[in-house]
Amino acid sequence: MRILLKILAAPIMLLLTIIVAFCTFIISVTGVIFWILSVLVFVGAALLFFSQQMAGGIAFLVIAFMVSPYGLPALAAWLIGMLDNAKYSLREFLMN
């Protein structure tokens, strides 16, 4: 029974390896794009604050935070880390 589970787990581990590698590449590329977008949105928020439109400025600051390295990219990196942990757990199962 354990051999059957190992045979079924091997393709899943291979798939997780490919997914983690692809997602890591995508995160590195989008990190640069999001950083540039974050700076542009922050400048837009500053312009809205100085033109007395506080609600628009606050909305732009929230958007700037979400595309900054501490927002969505950090969440994506955490999810990739969880997939990587699952891959290593499967690898340990296969090797034992």
> Per-residue pLDDT tens for 74-92?
899 999 999 999 999 999 9
Averaged over 39-66, what is the pLDDT? Answer: 80
Complete DSSP assignment for 4-66: HHHHHHHHHHHHHHHHHHHHHHHHHHHHHHHHHHHHHHHHHHHHHHHTT-HHHHHHHHHHHHH
Cα separation, 49 vs 60, whole angstroms: 10
Task: List, for residues 1-23, the tens digit of each pLDDT value.
Answer: 888 988 888 899 999 999 999 99
Query: What does the pLDDT read at residue 21?
Result: 94
Checking if the pLDDT of 25 tops 80, the result is: yes
For residue 64, what pLDDT band results from cuts at 50, 70 and 90?
confident
Query: What does the pLDDT read at residue 87?
Result: 92
Checking if the pLDDT of 46 tops 90, the result is: no
